[in-house]
Amino acid sequence: MATLASAARSSWPLSPPGVSNDRRRRGAWGRCMVVVLPPPPRLPPDPRVITWPAGKALYRIYNPAYPDFRYYGPLAQRFDHHIPASPPETGPRGMYYGAPTLACCVAEVFGDRGFIQIGAEWLAAIALERAIQLLDLRRAGATRAGTVHAISGIRDRVLTQEWSRYFYEHPDLYGAVDGLIYPAAHNGGTAVALYERASGAAPWSAARTVALAEPHVAARVQHVAARLRLPYLPPAVTSR
C-alpha cells in the first residue's frame, strides 16, 4: 500500500519538458523553489494592506541621475510598474525604492555584487508627510495577494513587474495602494516600493541627503558590511 508521503510525491506537478523535478525545485530561495505564476490570481485575492504613519522614516541609496521618483522605465528593478517599453521611456508612472533601515538599503543595492564598494551613490532620508497604504507581500501576505512569497526573491523581473502592474491597475481588488512592502531578497529585511501615488507623502524637497562616501556614512556602511558578511572595499570616490 502506498504511503501518504509517496502519494504526495506522486501528485507533485510535472516539470516542463526537459526540466527535471529536482531542478524545478531548486532556486535562489534555498534548496526548494515554488513556481511563481503570472497574474491574474487563480483565486480571488484577500489582500493585507498596512498603514505606515506620517513621520515614518524612509531611507534610500540612490543614483544621482534618479534621486526622486523615477518616471523612466521599466528598468531591471523588481517591482517597476511602468508601462512596458523597449527601450524604456519616460511616462506617467514613477517608482521609488527604499527601506526603514540603512542595513536593508545596503543589502539591496550591493548584495548582487557580492561586495561593497561605494561609488557615486548618495543616501536620502525622508520622514513621510502623510500616512501611506502598502500592499503587504511579506509571509502569508503574498499568498493573500494572489501570488507567492518567492515573488520577492526570484530573478525574473518581467514576471515580478507584471505582478506589480497588476496590483497597481486593479484598485477594485487591492485598493489604490501607495506601494508595496516586501521582504528584501538579500537580508530578509523590510523593503518598500512606492508608486507615484505616494509622491505627495515623500516629497523630495523634504529629503535630507548626503554622499555615501562621506566618512561618517561610509563608516556605518562598513559596519553593515561586516554584519552582512560582505567584503568591504575602500570607496572608489572621495567625498566632496
| pLDDT tens-digit series, residues 144-201 | 999 999 999 999 999 999 999 999 999 999 999 999 999 999 999 999 999 999 999 9
Q: Is the peptide bond preceding residue 88 cis, with omega within 30 degrees of 0?
A: no
Tens of pLDDT, residues 72-99: 999 999 999 999 999 999 999 999 999 9
Tallying the residues shown for the chain, one arrives at: 240
> pLDDT over 90 for what percent of the chain?
82
Among residues 105, 99, 80, the alpha carbon closest in space to that of 91 is found at 80
Within 10 Å of residue 114's Cβ, how many Cβ atoms? Answer: 8
DSSP at 204? G
Rounded to a whole number, what is the distance in angstroms from the first to the last CA of the chain?
A: 74
| pLDDT band at residue 34 using 50, 70 and 90 as cut-offs | confident
Q: What does the alpha-carbon distance between residue 131 and residue 37 come to, in Å, rounded to a whole number? A: 32
Torsion of CA 139, 156, 98, 167, to 10 degrees: -70
For residue 63, the model assigns a pLDDT of 92
pTM for the model stands at 0.85
CA of 232: how far to CAs of 15, 99, 121, 186, 238, in Å? Answer: 41, 21, 15, 16, 15
β strands within 128-231, DSSP E: 132-136, 179-183, 190-195, 208-211
In the structure grid, which three cell numbers stand for residue 208, read together?
535630507
Residue linked to cell 548618495: 122
Burial 116-150 (b: 16+ CB within 10 A, else e): bebeebbbbebebeeebbbbbbbeebbbbbbbbbb
HSE-up (13 A, CA, CB side) for residue 56? 16
Listed in sequence order, the residues at least 6 apart from 9 whose beta carbon sits closer than 8 Å to its beta carbon are none
Mean pLDDT for the stretch of residues 116-143: 97
Angle formed at CA 196 by CA 69 and CA 217, multiple of 5 degrees: 35
Angle between helices 102-110 and 215-228 (to 10 degrees): 70
Beta-bridge partners for 47: none
| 188, amino acid identity | G
Among residues 55, 49, 34, the alpha carbon closest in space to that of 170 is found at 49
> pLDDT over 70 for what percent of the chain?
85
DSSP at 70? E
